[in-house]
Structure 1
Amino acid sequence: MEINVNKKDWIFFGLCLLLGILAEESFFRGIIGVSFLVFIIAFYAVFFWRFRHFPFSHQRFGYLLVICIWLLSAVYVLNENILFYVLNIIGIPALVLFHLVAVTSPKNFRWNQLAFILYIFTRLLNAIKYNVAFTASLGKLVKRGADDNNLQVWKKVLIGVVISVPVLAVILRLLMSADSQFAQLVGGVPDLFQMVDPEGIMRLIVVFLCMGIFFGVMQVLYKKQMMVMKQNDQRVSVILDTVISITVLFLINIVYVLFIIVQFRYFFGGSLQGDYTYAEYARKGFFELLFVTLINLSITIVVISLGDSGKAGIKKIRQVLLTILVLSSGVLLTSAFKRLSMYEEAYGFSFTRVLSHSFMIFLIVIFTYTLVKIWVEKLSLFHFYFLTALIYYTTINVIDLDRIVVKENINRYEETGKIDVDYLSSLSATGVLGLIELYERGENIPHLETILRDQQLAARTEQQTWQSYNLKRERTSQKLNELQFK
């Protein structure tokens, strides 16, 4: 690959080097906080400068992605949750790459097709090739005006030095161990090998690696559009047999109808069979129902996507059976939702339980759209699923589910006098704020003061850096330092 580097490319190369330094400072210096948002702001400033004259495509979708990326980055400053902390480290870069490729792809190339994933990997491969070619061009630039024979000699000398250094290090250690006089003679030589800072070298490698990723990807995306893969608008070659799919749907629906009849007889009616309490029954069946619901969704998607339309009568039968399956899934979701609510009444609220509640609401939205898709075939499933999942994930990050957990547990304490202070203390800074609120109200809760004393000591000894700054942690630390124990 031959490349021509102009003045703007060199300026952009310098900016990518600065981005690489900022990335190393932001993500490899401890706990991530405001540094993520700072880096995203700097990254998009460089991106929009480089692409200021570029005709973007899929702009409305691009705006949605940018908003979600910035909100998720801001979560590192506003909230504190270990699950989202880890997920966003992977999710935000993936969304950024998806956004860059989407808005720079040809306008007639749809992002909601499977071929778009292959297109992304093709662009990444081209970025690697571009970096290799760019490095080769730098080598040619260095060679220009120099004598080839001298260059070859110095190259061989450098290779010899690189090979000799580790061998000499081992030999010197062995000889010094064998003879003390020789050890005194060259005693200072091994110290020369310790002058190199391994951590500094690793950080330098990270800087150049990040710089290469930023420079290669954005340079490739900025160049003229590559020829994209042909999109086949025809239906997938794998077609489900109509009779088989209808038979499977019919048998599954019979089981669900019988199950729903049982549910309406005693569960929704307010009575239970056997010796189960509400909490025991809820715990026993919640995950099973949720898993069955996901299986139903998978079956529905497969039949809709791969099923043969067939004749009008057969098509209607399949649509009716799919409708029954979706409605049955809705009843199962309602049952699972009610079971989880009963379990929370008995044992209290947790992050996992609140997250499960929100996920079931998300599934209800998905099933509602799928029900419409069964009868309106022109709608796109993946398009809606992706956008809904993106909005859902961003929303549960921003609203801070930990705060909902703390609030509901405090309300439950006011009604029943039961609360798990040990769990709340492990629930990030939000849980500690809830415990401080209870203590300041004068609530007599066992172990509460001990937990807060430990948290206060940890807050006073914790060392903060600018990268890890977080508003919730800062507020909690301030409240703990101001807290006066009885």
Structure 2
Amino acid sequence: MSDQSSESPRAEHAPEPSAAAAPAQPPAPTQATGPGGSGAPATAPAQPGVPAQAQAAPGAQPQGAVPEPPKIPAYAQQGRPPQQPNPWAQSKQDPSTISRLRPVKPGTVHSATLWSILATTLLSALLLGDGIGPNLLIVAVPASLGAYYAARAAGRRLRPWTAVWGIGGLALLAVPALRDAGWPTFLAIVSAVALGSLALHGSRSWLGVFLGSLGLLTSVAESLGWGVRGVRDRMSGSRGRWGVVFRSVAVAVLLLIVFGALFASADAAFADVLGNLMPDVSVGEGPWRLFLALIGLVGSLAAAYTAAAPVHWDGLSVRPGRARGRLEWALPLVVLNLLFAGFLAIQLTVLLGGYDKVMAETDLSYSEYARQGFWQLLWATVLTLGVIALALRWAPRGGARDRTLVRGVLGTLCLLTLIVVASALRRMDLYVDAYGLTRLRISVAAVELWLGVVLVLIMAAGVFGPRLLPRAVAASAAVGVLAFGLISPDGLIAEQNVQRYRSDHSIDIEYLSGLSADAVPALDTLPEPLRSCALEKIQRTLRDSDEPWYATSWGETRARDILGDWDPGFRTLDCRGMNSGDNGSERDGGTDDSYDPYDPY
């Protein structure tokens, strides 16, 4: 039996596929032997009832199957241009410098932090609009508490240097509460803000200490959203409790206003006490009070945000310069040391020989000699500190011998510069003795003295290591500003000029009358009519000012107690020609030399 006879009956009796259920796979073509028995494949016969388009052909897709996407040849794929990156997506992937240095985002605002911020905002609006005095310290206390609560909620611990910066900042705010003069008060406020920012960041390197003192500004924008989210979370989670608190506070304020007004109208003494204790808020001051409230809100919120998530400014570092060879590095500094030594040797000769001999040889007056040298020596000290900083950047770093060379050369330069500082201060003392003390002279003398302290700290760092040097320099600056405010510069100026008048009867009443109320105790000891001429302008200022207790310094209060209701009256009619002793002439008489080009005050 042939293959064809055996296959034919199967093909005849096979069931026909229906149109409703097509086979998943096309039927394989029937293998039939050709007429010659060659075994070549024969074409399958057409099935009746099925359209020709539906009949599966060899290699064709079955009906109902999803066609595969066309494949791209390899040569076409190689020629396609690369996809350009999205610049917006790239900016999201690369964090900014601040985000990189502040890796941790703070959690939800703590309730104690919110209450402290609210207290700071209200106190800023109520107390800061009438002047500067103890109110700054009063406002700073709740702001500091808010930062403390935020840091504790974030898991930060109180470190020694953080306590030093924080306590120092609050101590600096005592200067506006004690002194009436505006210029030491301004220095104290700026320094207090810088120390507060350092306390929140905790930096220790040179760049970190510098940027950390200004870094509070970087938290302003992010802190606003943080505060809004915190308030929203509190309101959504406890509407009933917060509503009770707000209603209770509103009712208490309403009762105080109503009954306080009744009692004030019933008793004049109570009204006077109430007027001194409570701030005077009028409708016309609304925009100004609102601005002060906004300042308090933004400042306290930024401080709390920084305390919870500080910026690690120490992550920014300045790479040291290329190390120089010993000869290339040391030769210029050795020459500079020799120049300093020669100058100081001449200064020692002048000191031993006396100033009279120098004035006779140089045809310089006593005051001209003193004035001519101080400013040059001050700039020499400042430039020397710059030279030391650059020398440390390019110092050789090969081993122990290089370290010994650096310490020896720079230590000698610091020691010689300290003697230059002493010479500059001596010249200023001569100048003050000839002309009297002024605000500019006491300020530059204080700066020169602080530069000497910095030189001592640099020498100590060369012995004990430079790890604490940046923070020690910052702390010395803060201590200097605090001491400068506490010694009462205006009072010291008045005391020195009054003492100078008692010794050589030379005084500048016109200048002394422009000092603040801190000078009243010393000026009150002058004889008439100098006393009246010196105090007339200060008394008029005190009479015109009506500041509450929280905006009045202790110096102003003391001046009011000394002067009382005193009226200079007719004594001040002839104050124009009251300057005595040639108005600042030289100590030994001579020509009038009242003009000082270095002192605009």
TM-score bracket, normalised by the shorter chain, equals 0.7 to 0.9
Residue matched to 1:238: 321
Over 3 Å counting, the alpha-carbon distance change for 1:423 and 1:54 in structure 2 is: same
C-alpha contact (below 8 Å) 2:490/2:515 kept by paired residues: yes
Which amino acid in the other structure matches residue 122 of structure 2?
A: I
- Tell me the distance in 2 between the aligned counterparts of 1:351 and 1:93: 24
Over 3 Å counting, the alpha-carbon distance change for 1:371 and 1:4 in structure 2 is: closer
Residue matched to 2:343: 259
C-alpha contact (below 8 Å) 1:293/1:329 kept by paired residues: yes
Q: Cα distance, 1:283 vs. partner?
A: 0.4
- Tell me the distance in 2 between the aligned counterparts of 1:332 and 1:227: 40
Residue matched to 1:128: 221
- Tell me the distance in 1 between the aligned counterparts of 2:531 and 2:547: 26
Secondary structure of the structure 1 residue equivalent to 2:381: helix
What pairs with 1:78-227 in structure 2 (closer than 5 Å)?
78-102=178-202, 111-115=204-208, 125=218, 128-132=221-225, 135=228, 200-201=286-287, 203-219=289-305, 221-222=307-308
Secondary structure of the structure 2 residue equivalent to 1:397: helix
- Tell me the distance in 2 between the aligned counterparts of 1:52 and 1:140: 20
What pairs with 1:323-362 in structure 2 (closer than 5 Å)?
323-362=411-450
C-alpha contact (below 8 Å) 1:34/1:74 kept by paired residues: yes
- Tell me the distance in 2 between the aligned counterparts of 1:450 and 1:201: 40
C-alpha contact (below 8 Å) 2:180/2:556 kept by paired residues: yes
Residue matched to 1:19: 120
Residue matched to 2:554: 471
- Aligned partner of 1:40 among 128, 140, 154: 140
- Aligned partner of 2:545 among 458, 462, 466: 462
Which amino acid in the other structure matches residue 546 of structure 2?
A: Q
C-alpha contact (below 8 Å) 1:402/1:431 kept by paired residues: yes
Which amino acid in the other structure matches residue 204 of structure 2?
A: W
Cα deviation, 1:342-369, whole Å, max 9, x if unaligned, reads 1111111223323333333333332223
Further displaced range: 269-278 or 256-265 = 256-265
> Share of identical aligned residues, percent?
19
Q: Cα distance, 1:314 vs. partner?
A: 4.9
Q: Cα distance, 1:264 vs. partner?
A: 2.4
- Tell me the distance in 2 between the aligned counterparts of 1:2 and 1:374: 39
C-alpha contact (below 8 Å) 1:362/1:392 kept by paired residues: yes
Residue matched to 2:169: 69
Over 3 Å counting, the alpha-carbon distance change for 1:402 and 1:374 in structure 2 is: same
Q: Cα distance, 1:254 vs. partner?
A: 2.9
Cα deviation, 1:115-160, whole Å, max 9, x if unaligned, reads 466678777545523423654787899999xxxxxxxxxxxxxxxx
C-alpha contact (below 8 Å) 1:430/1:472 kept by paired residues: yes
The number of equivalent residue pairs is 416
Q: Cα distance, 1:457 vs. partner?
A: 3.5
Which has the larger helix fraction?
A: 1
Does residue 1:307 correspond to 2:430, yes or no? no
Residue matched to 1:430: 518
- Tell me the distance in 2 between the aligned counterparts of 1:119 and 1:339: 37
Which amino acid in the other structure matches residue 472 of structure 2?
A: F
- Tell me the distance in 2 between the aligned counterparts of 1:267 and 1:5: 67
Which amino acid in the other structure matches residue 180 of structure 2?
A: E
Residue matched to 1:279: 367
C-alpha contact (below 8 Å) 2:204/2:468 kept by paired residues: no
Which amino acid in the other structure matches residue 298 of structure 1?
A: G
Residue matched to 1:395: 483
Over 3 Å counting, the alpha-carbon distance change for 1:240 and 1:269 in structure 2 is: farther
Residue matched to 2:353: 269
Secondary structure of the structure 1 residue equivalent to 2:160: helix
C-alpha contact (below 8 Å) 2:201/2:306 kept by paired residues: no
- Tell me the distance in 2 between the aligned counterparts of 1:123 and 1:474: 34
Which amino acid in the other structure matches residue 485 of structure 2?
A: N
Cα deviation, 1:175-231, whole Å, max 9, x if unaligned, reads xxxxxxxxxxxxxxxxxxxxxx89634543542453244235414533xx6795785
Over aligned residue pairs, what C-alpha RMSD do you find? 3.6
Which amino acid in the other structure matches residue 256 of structure 1?
A: F
Residue matched to 1:418: 506
Over 3 Å counting, the alpha-carbon distance change for 1:250 and 1:418 in structure 2 is: same
- Tell me the distance in 1 between the aligned counterparts of 2:217 and 2:534: 49
- Aligned partner of 2:535 among 431, 448, 452: 452
- Tell me the distance in 1 between the aligned counterparts of 2:135 and 2:511: 29
Secondary structure of the structure 2 residue equivalent to 1:437: coil
TM-score, length basis structure 2: 0.61
- Tell me the distance in 2 between the aligned counterparts of 1:199 and 1:207: 12
Secondary structure of the structure 2 residue equivalent to 1:114: helix
Cα deviation, 1:356-414, whole Å, max 9, x if unaligned, reads 33333333332223223334445542132122222222222222222322222222222
Q: Cα distance, 1:4 vs. partner?
A: 7.3
Over alpha carbons, which structure has the higher Rg? 2
Which amino acid in the other structure matches residue 26 of structure 1?
A: L
Secondary structure of the structure 1 residue equivalent to 2:379: helix
Residue matched to 1:365: 453
- Tell me the distance in 1 between the aligned counterparts of 2:467 and 2:312: 24
Which amino acid in the other structure matches residue 533 of structure 2?
A: T
- Tell me the distance in 2 between the aligned counterparts of 1:91 and 1:54: 27
Which 5+ residue runs of structure 1 have no aligned equivalent?
103-109, 145-196
Which amino acid in the other structure matches residue 20 of structure 1?
A: T
Which 5+ residue runs of structure 2 have no aligned equivalent?
1-103, 238-282, 572-601
Q: Cα distance, 1:329 vs. partner?
A: 0.9
